[in-house]
Amino acid sequence: MEQSRITSEKKNAIIFITGATSGIGKAVATRFAQDGYRLIITGRRKELLEETARDLALNFNVEVLPICFDVRKLKEVEEAITTLPEKWRNIEILVNNAGLAVGLNPIHEGLIDDWERMIDTNIKGLLYVTRQIVPMMVKRKRGHIINIGSIAGKEVYPNGNVYCGSKFAVDAITKGMRIDLLPYGIKVTQVAPGAVETEFSLVRFKGDHQRASDVYKGFTPLTGDDVANVVYFAATLPGHVNIHDLVITPAAQASASHFLKK
Ligand code: NDP
Ligand code: 8X3
């Protein structure tokens, strides 16, 4: 009874997903669209974002608002969120997904620009978006924030240094959010995946397709849909239930750096 009340209430709800032009974010948007949620989707690649919005609206008969901005740019984030039309302001679920790894170098050979891109996107970008959206949730005394962390935020692997650091930060920030937002009835969840085959490795290896596809050779990686199903599950539990933290890996992955490869 409780479950169905909450589920039907949530069906008209608005879900805000950062980084929905590909991979996990796009799969999350699709999963929620399938069940009739209203979506705000974001990303930097304007054409791709608008095409994604059109496809989702058409295929699932839902309202989709695409807003194009770079999570690293505070002014763009503020402008995008403060100017949301009135009917899009009651955001029920925020999925902080936009993120990336750039490079895989030992610390003494790391490129400062790579480090800054990861820190600015994965930590500061997540904070900029959260800071704009959460006061609206606090005011309404409801909401759910789902941060996409990583197994790299649980364990460090060789050459993962700064990417791992950025995801350890997401892990800590998620815990802090949960404590601070407790009085306002806002749930906070982290979903921390292992290897998921998306554009992630292509971005990490700066467009080197061979290196990117080698990452997933010899085992079956997760898909964006696998992670989206878990996000959906966490988001649609009854009101009194919250998942704090969920690590999901391919069956062939036992830790950040242990894989069973054929
Ligand atoms: P993708 O590269 O496929 O997707 C990343 C998304 O983030 C894209 O939509 C991209 O959109 C967006 N994005 C990146 N930088 C910015 C930015 N500065 N401003 C706005 N949007 C941005 O990778 P995944 O789907 O795999 O990654 C999604 C999240 O999952 C990331 O946080 C990643 O760290 C995490 N993760 C991934 C794992 C994996 O193995 N793939 C495992 C564990 C966690 P656009 O380029 O249009 O801006
Ligand atoms: C992405 C997974 O293991 O490449 O967060 O860091 S990993």
Active-site residue, selected from the candidate residues 37, 128, 157, 163 = 163
Quote the ligand 1 centre to 170 CA distance (angstroms): 14
195 CA: nearest ligand 2 atom? 2
Pocket test for ligand 2, best of 104, 150, 191, 204 (most atoms within 8 A of CB): 150
Does any domain span residue 259? Answer: no
Task: Domain of residue 193: give its range.
Answer: 2-248
Give the residues surrounding ligand 1 with Cβ less than 6 Å away.
Answer: 18-25, 43-45, 70-72, 97-100, 121, 125, 148, 150, 193, 195-196, 198-200, 203, 224
Q: Cα of 23 to ligand 1 centre, how many Å?
A: 7
d(CA 67, CA 76): 10
**What is the Cα–Cα distance from 19 to 100, expressed in whole angstroms?**
10
Does residue 254 form part of some domain?
A: no
CATH number for the domain harbouring residue 236: 3.40.50.720
Predicted confidence pLDDT, tens digits, the chain (262 residues)? 344 444 555 668 999 999 999 999 999 999 999 999 999 999 999 999 999 999 999 999 999 999 999 999 999 999 999 999 999 999 999 999 999 999 999 999 999 999 999 999 999 999 999 999 999 999 999 999 999 999 999 999 999 999 999 999 999 999 999 999 999 999 999 999 999 999 999 999 999 999 999 999 999 999 999 999 999 999 999 999 999 999 999 999 999 999 999 9
In a domain, 64, yes or no: yes
Residue 261 lies in a domain: no
Q: Is residue 258 part of a domain?
A: no
Tokens of 142: 């409801």
Stated pTM of the model: 0.97
pLDDT value for 12: 82
Counting the structural domains of the chain, the total is 1
Domain membership of residue 260 (yes or no) is no
Q: Is 44 within a domain?
A: yes
- Per the domain annotation, does 253 fall within a domain? no
Torsions phi, psi for 22 (to 5 deg): -160, 175
Q: Does residue 157 have an active-site annotation? A: no
Strands (E) in the chain, as ranges, are 14-17, 38-43, 64-68, 91-96, 143-148, 186-193, 245-248, 253-255, 258-259
Task: Say how many Å lie between the first and final Cα of the chain, rounded.
Answer: 47
